[in-house]
Every structure is written in C-alpha cells, then in structure tokens.
Amino acid sequence: MVRLPTCCELETNTKSQPRIKVEDHANHEGGLAKSSVARLRGSSGRPLRKNFFFAAAGHAFYTLCQWGIIAVLTKLGEPSVVGYFVFCLALTTPIVEFTGCQLHVVQATDTRGKFALFDYLLLRISTGVLAGLVVASVVGLSVLPLWVKLAALTMTCAKLVEGCSLICHGHFQRDERMEWVARSQIFRGTFALASVAVVYYLTNSLLAAILILAFLWTAVFILHDLPLAWSGERTGYTSSYTFEPQRIFHLACQSFPLGIGVGLNALSANLPRYFVGSLLGTYSLGIFAALAYVGVAARLLYLPLIYTVMPRLARLYQAGDRAKFLNLLSTALVLGVAISAGTLILLKQVSRPLLTLVYTPEYSEYHDVFLILSASVTLHFLAAVLIAALQSAHKFAWVLICYATTNFVLLISLPLSIHWGGLHGAGLAALLASAAEFSTGLLFVILLARLADWGHRSPGSGEQCCDLTPQRD
C-alpha cells in the first residue's frame, strides 16, 4: 500500500526544494571554478625538466638536420648551390613568417582556451594562401632562372606546411606535451635531410630535392601532427568545428602584432644574406650562409628553453605572481649565459678543424667570421629569452620595438660594414644588431617588472586571470 505524503510534508518538501537547488547551483559554480583553475593550470603538473628534455632533444635533432642539409650541399655542390638554396629560404621565410602571425605562440599562451584548433588552422591556411600569392608575384617579377623561381615556390609550399605543423605544436605546448613536439621535429628533420641528400645526389637537382621535402613534410602533418592535435581538443578547452567569421577575425586582430614582430625577426635574420648576395655575389652568399648555419647550431638549447618556460611564464603573469615570474626568467637567463659562454669557448678551440670536417678546407679559411657569427647567434637567443617573457605578458608592442631596433641597426650598418670588411664586416654588423636587440629587451623586461597590472589577484576569478586580450601599451 502506497502511503501519500501529508500536507505538512508537502509544504516542507516544497520549501526545502529551492534550498537544494541553490546548493546544487553552488556546487555547480564551484565545479566551474575548479574547472577554470584546472584550465589555467593546464598540465603544468608535468615536470619542467621532463618537458625541457623532450624539447631540447627534438629541437637539437631538427637543428642538426638543418645544418646537415647545408653540409650535404657543400660536399655535393659548389658554394653557389648553397647560395641558391639559402636564397630560396631568404626570399620566402619573411613573407611566410609575417602571414603566419606566430599563431603557435598565441595558442601556447592561450591558457583560457578562447579559440579552438580549427580556428588557428583555418586562419593559418587563409594567410598561407596570401603568402603564396605574394611570393609568386615577387618571383614572377624577378629575373631569376626558371628553376630558381620554381624552387622558391616549392620552398614556400614546404614552409606553409611547416606553419600548419607549428599550429599543432602550439597546441602541444599549451598542454605541455613536448614529447609530441619532439617526435614531429624528429620526423621532419629526418625527412628533410634524407630528401636533400638522396635526391640531390641522384638527380643533381635542387628543385627535385625541395619538392620531395615538401611532400614528406605534408605527410608528417597529415599522419602525425593533425591526429594528435585533434585528439587533444577533448581535454576541456574550447572545441568548435564551425566557421565563425567574428571569432576568426578576433584571433587575427590578436595575433597580427605578433605577425609583424615575427616578420621583422625573420627579416633581421635574412638582411645580411640580402646584402651579401647583392654586394658580394652568390658564391660569397654560399660561404656566409654555411658559416651562419654552423653558428645556428649553437641555439640547440635556447629555443627548447624558451618553448618550455613560455607557457609557465604566461600562467605566472596572468596569476599576478611577480616573484615566481622573475625568478623563472632569471633562472632561464643564467642558464642561457652559461650555455653561451661554454659554447663560444668550445667553438674557439675547434672552429678551423670543425669547418674543415663538416664542410671543406675552403670554408675553414673564414673561421674568424664563423666565430663572430656564433657570438651574434648566442647573444640573439639570450635576447630571445627576454622577448619570450614580454610575449608571455602579451606586451606585443614592446616586442615590435625590439625587432624594429634590430632591423634599423642592420640597415644602417650592413652596407658600410660590408664595403669596409666584406664577410667580416657582415658578421660584425650582425653582432652589433644582436647587442642592440638584447639591450632593448632587457630595458623592457625591467620596465615590465615595475608595472602594477600583473594579472587579476582576486580569489575565484579564474576567468579574468586567463584573459589574453592584448593590452594597449
């Protein structure tokens, strides 16, 4: 027999029901707050040393493979072949980097998950089409040989695919899954070196080697990077696969200052090549580029260091933890200085035999230029640590000033220094520009440490702490 509730029980249940709903709502709000904090923390519980190890291993392997490409070309061809290869890179890289807007940096520091992976990829593909049109226009108006024009266009396609892979890497960085980044870099580095070495040896065609390189990088993106990135979208961040123009436009506006910055950064890396090639010829450009690539090998531990600490710096800044932010930045700088000193001391002892072993005795005659370029590279990446701190705080206008200062110094010093000292003068101009970049970055970091607008410190305001809208400086 079913017992019916009395009127008093009905009244009691009716009165208690709203309280239960309020408690449930409070629990729901508490769950949202915990979820917000979890999103803010991301996977920061992963050991920093483990992430640094994977980042260092992957980037070291990839950089060595890039160096290996230059070494293979110096062994199999004349310095002019190296010059043409570097010319293709110098022509396409600034344009591709500018249109890429460094979206992977925005994504790596997007602790709130405001944009989905689909948004980043769609914007990158759209800007990639624009980059391809610009490069095609520049190449079409030039007086280069036809095969060089085709090689430049093929290199553009390869760099655009690399940009899509970097979008996936930014997703991995945000979740601090650096082992996935390392695996992708190992795949791409291996395929790049193998394609250039094998294809150029068999065909003696630089165009064919670059074409196979672009095809293999596309395979890595489709078969490795993209599936892992899509699977990572189920970790609690924004997940949307619909085209929303307003959201894409907001992402473009947010990342555009970074696009200018990375474009200026790429331009500063290639300005010495432009001036050397135009004033001294393709042969000297090949010598200079080969020496510069050996110096680039000194960065093996710098970029992994930056990629590892940048997401952590972004979280500390958004949380308003000034002391831990500056402590982590100081640790990274001290480590960078130690690596710089050790690298330069080692290179000074082995520069001549190293150039003879890796390249040919012809290149070892310029070992003093090699040491100047190595010093420039190490100082540049110390400056990059400071700039990474500014990017973590989304002080993009300050980053632009740092890059603009570097390019200004190069534009003023390169013509005079090359006219005065040839390749030695070009190396000294690059060193002077790196010193200017470091000084400007240090000045802005000191200014950042004195600012009062460090995140939002009120407890329970997780969403406000994660707001990544660029500030007006």
DSSP 240-268: --S--HHHHHHHHHHHHHHHHHHHHHHHH
Rounded CA separation 366/73 (Å)? 18
- pLDDT at residue 342, rounded to an integer: 85
- For the residues 303-330, what does the mean pLDDT come to? 83
- Specify the amino acid at residue 38: A
- pLDDT at residue 269, rounded to an integer: 83
Rounded CA separation 139/149 (Å)? 6
- pLDDT of residue 273 exceeding 80, the answer is yes
- Specify the amino acid at residue 155: M
Rounded CA separation 220/104 (Å)? 17
Rounded CA separation 334/336 (Å)? 5
- Specify the amino acid at residue 329: L
Q: How many CB atoms lie within 10 A of CB 333?
A: 17
Residue 9 lies in a domain: no
Residue 103 lies in a domain: yes
DSSP 8-class letter at 82: H
- pLDDT of residue 281 exceeding 90, the answer is no
- For the residues 326-344, what does the mean pLDDT come to? 87
- pLDDT at residue 16, rounded to an integer: 43
Query: Pick the residue with more confidence: 72 or 299?
Result: 72
- pLDDT at residue 247, rounded to an integer: 78
- pLDDT over 70 for what percent of the chain? 79
CA angle 42, 108, 453 (to 5 degrees): 85
Residue 452, φ and ψ in degrees, nearest 5 = -100, -20
- pLDDT of residue 36 exceeding 50, the answer is no
Residue 34 lies in a domain: no
Residue 237 lies in a domain: yes
- pLDDT of residue 287 exceeding 70, the answer is yes
CA angle 217, 222, 225 (to 5 degrees): 85
- pLDDT of residue 34 exceeding 70, the answer is no
- For the residues 189-218, what does the mean pLDDT come to? 92
Rounded CA separation 403/267 (Å)? 9
- pLDDT at residue 465, rounded to an integer: 34
Looking at every residue in the chain, the average pLDDT score rounds to: 79
Confidence of residue 391 (pLDDT cuts 50, 70, 90): confident
- pLDDT of residue 469 exceeding 90, the answer is no
- For the residues 403-409, what does the mean pLDDT come to? 93
Provide the domain count of the chain: 1
- Confidence (pTM): 0.68
The structure tokens listed for 167 are: 């979008």
Residue 10 lies in a domain: no
* Domain extent at residue 98: 45-455
- pLDDT of residue 462 exceeding 70, the answer is no
Helices of type H across 113-197: 117-141, 146-174, 178-194
- pLDDT of residue 215 exceeding 90, the answer is yes
CA angle 184, 311, 340 (to 5 degrees): 75
Residue 329 lies in a domain: yes
Rounded CA separation 286/86 (Å)? 7
Residue 359 lies in a domain: yes
- 98 burial level (CB within 10 Å; 0-12, 13-18, 19+): buried
- pLDDT over 90 for what percent of the chain? 23
- Which of 93-102, 227-236, 278-287, 414-423 holds the top average pLDDT? 414-423
- pLDDT of residue 15 exceeding 60, the answer is no
- pLDDT of residue 180 exceeding 70, the answer is yes
- Specify the amino acid at residue 98: F
Contacts for 54 with CB less than 8 Å, ≥ 6 apart: 178, 179, 181, 182
- pLDDT at residue 110, rounded to an integer: 67
CB 467 within 8 A of CB 315: no
Residue 272 lies in a domain: yes
